[in-house]
Amino acid sequence: MSFIRYVFCAFMVALAACSDEPIRTGPFHEVYHCDLIGYDFTNRADYDHFCTEDVAESRRKSDSIRKNIVNETYIEKDCKIDEIRFFE
C-alpha cells in the first residue's frame, strides 16, 4: 500500500512540475474590468463599490479641475485660473 502512495505522489509532483499554468484554487486571481472608469480590480467588493456611475461622475469632475489647474496662467506673483467647469 505504501508503494502505491509513493508512486501516486511522484506522479502528482511530476504532473505539477510539467504544468505550464499555475494551479488556481479559488477566485483569487480573477480580474474585474470597469468600463466606466477604465480600471481593473482584483477584489469583487472594490469593483462593486467603485464601478458605479456616481464614482465615474466624481472622477470626471476631479479630472476637469485637475486639467484646469495644470493649464492655469501665472501673472507676476499672483495665480490666475482661467476656467473651472463643474458638471452637474
Considering only residues 15 and 35, tell me which one the structure prediction assigns the higher pLDDT. 35
pLDDT tens by residue, 16-70: 777 666 666 555 678 888 998 888 988 888 999 999 999 889 888 888 888 877 7
Q: Which residue has the cell 467647469?
A: 85
**Nearest-angstrom CA–CA distance, 55 and 73:** 30
pLDDT attached to residue 16:
74
pLDDT attached to residue 77:
54
pLDDT attached to residue 78:
57
Distances (CA, A) of 39 to 26, 35, 49, 70: 22, 7, 13, 23
pLDDT attached to residue 38:
87
**Torsion of the alpha carbons at 34, 36, 37 and 43, rounded to the nearest 10:** -30
* Cross-strand pairs, 74: 79
